Chain A
């Protein structure tokens, strides 16, 4: 059925969104054209301007339309802390959690040799030169707890050995409100290995 090439093109364009199949794409396209033309105009304009002006922050490489993103240019952030994450989505997640006051470095992926992504493809040199510039005192690696994330973390840590900087990795463990019985074995053994002392021993925390 080919009623209108323009509408077909619009439906087809919506399908580039994650989780949108032919049926939802058709609903979205018809909704905008039938009932919400101002909304459609706004969407189209927002897409246009965002595409034209959003690029990467010169310091942390997250997505932003400014040369330096809001976090990097803020004077309320602790610039001795730098959190290494895989994607801009991870920055949003940590910001929404609200407990971190340091800066970020976005890798835009992880080391995955089998996919042909090595240290050069990931541009890890930018991270190392930022560390060399001297302000960062602690690098917190917040890569995903996958084999590729582990490899990325070990690679960064190995390359910063002997430098005057603390390299740490975020803990892996049981989700808040979770039940031990239903947690997978891998997470549970990580959680046990990274346990925290509550009392006792010579020096408490």
Chain B
């Protein structure tokens, strides 16, 4: 990695207060992947970058430094910040939490950067939330090299049958089984593979399957952004 990077497209994933008036920022850059940098004085009263160093704001960042931790020397807005409301904001935070948990530092993920950007744009619009999130989860796994193989285990692997039931093991893949609570219907798995999530039970199965696949890589610590989606405490609130 070069010691000087100028005007690199990036999104901020996370920021941590550092010393009196500085921040440590976790950036997802287009050409250099995830990079950590110190933003000196960014929390100060006169800081001009304070408003920009927020998640979901398309940025152009300039960085210097040879070590793992860079210094942020400049930040500009590339476009207007994406505006996410309510559940869509929680979904955005979920996507950021997934990335910050799974994305390794300094590995180039240009395709994933594009997918992340498309996901945020889709979250800002009125596309179905489930589709957007499942597509992101599926692509994230694939881009990180943990892609789900949509074939039935065996030698040679068989293709999925829509009327059969399968058990999913995140480490191995799909194996045939009898119909039970944990099993996935072939048609639902095929629908996820082909990106058809219109049908409600298929969407639910896709969510369960991807949760299993992600859990394998996330370790034992749960994702706290999921708690934001919990059922409202009070009855009578439609959601």
Residues of A within 8 A of B (CB): 18-19, 111, 113-121, 125, 128, 146-147, 150-151, 154-155, 157-163, 184-187, 189
Residues A185 and B237 in contact, CB atoms below 8 Å apart: no
Bound Cα distance A187, B221 (Å): 36
A-contact bits for B69-102, CB 8 A (1 contact / 0 none): 0000000010011000111011001101100100
- Chain A residues, CB < 8 A from B54: 146-147, 186
- Chain B residues, CB < 8 A from A116: 221, 224
**Interchain residue pairs with CB less than 8 A apart (6):** A114-B13, A119-B227, A158-B86, A162-B234, A184-B48, A185-B80
Bound Cα distance A45, B239 (Å): 54
Q: A160-B234, A185-B80 are in contact. Are A155 and B228 (CB under 8 A)?
A: yes
Residues A119 and B234 in contact, CB atoms below 8 Å apart: no
- Which of B81, B97, B238 meets A114, CB within 8 Å? B97
- Chain A residues, CB < 8 A from B233: 125, 128, 159
The answer to the question of B225 belonging to the interface, with a C-beta cut-off of 8 Å to chain A, is yes
- Chain B residues, CB < 8 A from A150: 89
- Which of B20, B93, B238 meets A151, CB within 8 Å? B93
Residues B93 and A158 in contact, CB atoms below 8 Å apart: no
Residues B237 and A154 in contact, CB atoms below 8 Å apart: no
- Chain A residues, CB < 8 A from B238: 161-162
- Chain A residues, CB < 8 A from B52: 184, 186
A-contact bits for B50-81, CB 8 A (1 contact / 0 none): 01101111000000000000000000010011
The answer to the question of B154 belonging to the interface, with a C-beta cut-off of 8 Å to chain A, is no
Residues A158 and B57 in contact, CB atoms below 8 Å apart: no
A sample of 12 more A-B contacts (CB under 8 A), given A186-B52, A186-B81, is: A113-B97, A114-B93, A114-B97, A119-B227, A120-B227, A147-B89, A158-B87, A161-B238, A184-B51, A184-B52, A187-B51, A189-B80
Among B197-239, those with CB < 8 Å from A are 221, 223-225, 227-228, 230, 232-239
Bound Cα distance A146, B51 (Å): 8
The answer to the question of B14 belonging to the interface, with a C-beta cut-off of 8 Å to chain A, is yes
Residues A162 and B237 in contact, CB atoms below 8 Å apart: yes
A107 to chain B, nearest CB (A): 15
A-B pairs with lowest CB-CB distance, top 10: A113-B225, A118-B227, A162-B236, A161-B237, A113-B224, A184-B51, A162-B237, A118-B224, A19-B20, A154-B86
Residues B237 and A111 in contact, CB atoms below 8 Å apart: no
- Which of A151, A159, A163 meets B90, CB within 8 Å? A151
- Chain B residues, CB < 8 A from A154: 85-86, 89-90
Residues B224 and A161 in contact, CB atoms below 8 Å apart: no
Most buried by B among A18, A19, A147, A159: A147
Bound Cα distance A159, B236 (Å): 10
Residues B228 and A147 in contact, CB atoms below 8 Å apart: no
Residues B232 and A161 in contact, CB atoms below 8 Å apart: yes
- Chain A residues, CB < 8 A from B13: 114
- Which of A120, A151, A162 meets B89, CB within 8 Å? A151
Q: A119-B227, A151-B89, A186-B57 are in contact. Are A159 and B51 (CB under 8 A)?
A: no
- Which of A114, A125, A159, A186 meets B96, CB within 8 Å? A114
Closest to B236 in A: A162
- Chain B residues, CB < 8 A from A118: 224-225, 227-228
- Chain A residues, CB < 8 A from B235: 162
Among B1-45, those with CB < 8 Å from A are 13-14, 20-21
Closest to A160 in B: B234
Bound Cα distance A149, B40 (Å): 22
Closest to B52 in A: A184
B236 to chain A, nearest CB (A): 4
Residues B228 and A119 in contact, CB atoms below 8 Å apart: yes
Most buried by B among A18, A114, A128: A114
- Chain A residues, CB < 8 A from B57: 186
- Chain B residues, CB < 8 A from A121: 224
